[in-house]
Amino acid sequence: MELVRKALDAGMVREDDTAFVLYDLDLLERRLGDVVAAFGPQALAAAAVKANPLPPVLAFLAGLGAGAEAASLPEIHLALEAGVAPARIVFDSPAKTVEELRLALARGIRVNADNFEELARLGELAATLGIAPRAGLRVNPQVGLGRIRATSVAGAYSKFGVPVTQREAILAAFARHPWLDGLHVHIGSQGCPLDLLVAGVGAVYDLAGEIDRRLGGRRVRCFDFGGGLPVAYRDTDAPPTPETYAAALAVRCPELFSGRFRLVTEFGRFLHAPCAVAASRVEYVKRQIGHRTAVLHLGADMFVRECYNPRNWPHRTRALTPDGREKGGRAYSWHLAGPLCFSGDFPVWRAKLPELAPGDLVVVEDVGAYTLAMWSRYNSRQMPRILAARGGRFTVLRERETPADVVRFWRGAADAPTGGE
């Protein structure tokens, strides 16, 4: 909470900033360093843009040598604008259009095809353009689901990838497309334990060996084992580190780190989640028998998953005075209510906090991933001011939206056609 206090002391939070988000870029650099140290500098550390699409943060990571994993056309453009070299971008959307694939081919962006039809489309476009694709095939290892079904993608059925049981069809695809040189696997995100992650990567690693043996030579040259490392949202959580994950993979997949493959990682939550906090002013305090409610300026607009599925998406919270000093005293059970017009708008239920009053600050921890990135326009709330700390200095990554910005969003481009002649 020291950074929050210093940001307030430095005048980075204005009177009309009812809420703000603060990123610790020094911590983000250390976490990227943990990934590089675990998987080796030869591996492409492609940060998942979906986790945190803020251009200054993407540019910061690119400056440290990270690549980018994009799951949509705008995410590709966000990565390019941030200075990520096209060769260090991985395109993973399950619904790639002809235009998107044409762009990826023209720019030399690596494509992980989601299905056989996409491979055929990619091959046809490549032949027309005279460009050899840089491509892999996403395979569902079918090793099971983690604790959170909605973020698990390696069950017997998944909307992503080709089932690993379709081995003959996969082998035929590699035989048919000489440029196909990689495999891509992703097991899931938060809620997937280490043994499940390792089992999923191991199943596709075995497939790579079978492809090489049956087709001859080194057909699988690139191995992309996605992301998925969980993070600690509770004090009792003890997630694996990148070092632990890499060590377990080395036991299960002995040649994974031998230099046989070009490795790609796609971490998002691990990199970003602990690197930011969100702070909101307490606007009102409401008391009913058995309930204390603090009304905040951040709710399901920013905490979509938390409001709709609080059991799986908890957050640690702190209470600060208006000038950023931590509040003490007896802890009570507080419902933290957001500002939106529906009854489920509670980012945190039963937070253990001291007595709150209007003007206090409630800080929600571990919001660097899949929070601001999932911003909702319901009730047309303004996105808050986004700050960053780096080496003891503060900068503004994104200004608080004005009402005019929100009107502009809903109106669309000023020069958009309005119909008629």
Region of residue 88 (left: phi > 0; alpha: psi -120 to 50; beta: else): alpha
Burial bucket for residue 157 (CB in 10 Å: 0-12, 13-18, 19+): exposed
Residue 417 lies in a domain: no
Residue 87 per-residue DSSP state: G
Q: In this structure, are 255 and 280 located in the same domain?
A: no
Number of helices followed by number of strands (H, E) in the chain: 12, 19
Domain of residue 191 covers 93-265
How far apart, in Å, do the first and last CA atoms of the chain sit? Answer: 58
Residue 67 lies in a domain: no
The pTM for the full model equals 0.95
Residue 37 lies in a domain: no
Tens digits of residue pLDDT in 202-230: 999 999 999 999 999 999 999 999 999 99
Domain CATH for 329:
2.40.37.10
Residue 33 lies in a domain: no
pLDDT score of 82:
97
- What tokens appear for 272 in the block? 């970003």
- Boundary (domain end) residue, out of 265, 286, 301: 265
Residue 160 lies in a domain: yes
Residue 134 lies in a domain: yes
Q: In this structure, are 241 and 291 located in the same domain?
A: no
Q: In this structure, are 217 and 108 located in the same domain?
A: yes
Q: In this structure, are 175 and 233 located in the same domain?
A: yes
Q: Name the one residue in this structure whose structure tokens are 């675990």.
A: 38
Q: How many domains does the chain have?
A: 2
pLDDT score of 413:
79
Cα 270 to Cα 323: distance, rounded to the nearest angstrom? 31
Residue 42 lies in a domain: no
Q: In this structure, are 118 and 223 located in the same domain?
A: yes
The pLDDT tens digits along the chain (421 residues) read 899 999 999 999 999 999 999 999 999 999 999 999 999 999 999 999 999 999 999 999 999 999 999 999 999 999 999 999 999 999 999 999 999 999 999 999 999 999 999 999 999 999 999 999 999 999 999 999 999 999 999 999 999 999 999 999 999 999 999 999 999 999 998 999 999 999 999 999 999 999 999 999 999 999 999 999 999 999 999 999 999 999 999 999 999 999 999 999 999 999 999 999 999 999 999 999 999 999 999 999 999 999 999 999 999 999 999 999 999 999 999 999 999 999 999 999 999 999 999 999 999 999 999 999 999 999 999 999 999 999 999 999 999 999 999 999 999 976 555 544 3
Cα 28 to Cα 23: distance, rounded to the nearest angstrom? 8
Residue 117 lies in a domain: yes
Domain CATH for 261:
3.20.20.10
Q: Do the Cβ atoms of 384 and 21 come closer than 8 Å?
A: yes
Would the CA dihedral through 300, 48, 127, 81 be positive or negative? Answer: positive
Q: In this structure, are 257 and 279 located in the same domain?
A: no
185: Cα separation from own chain's centroid:
16
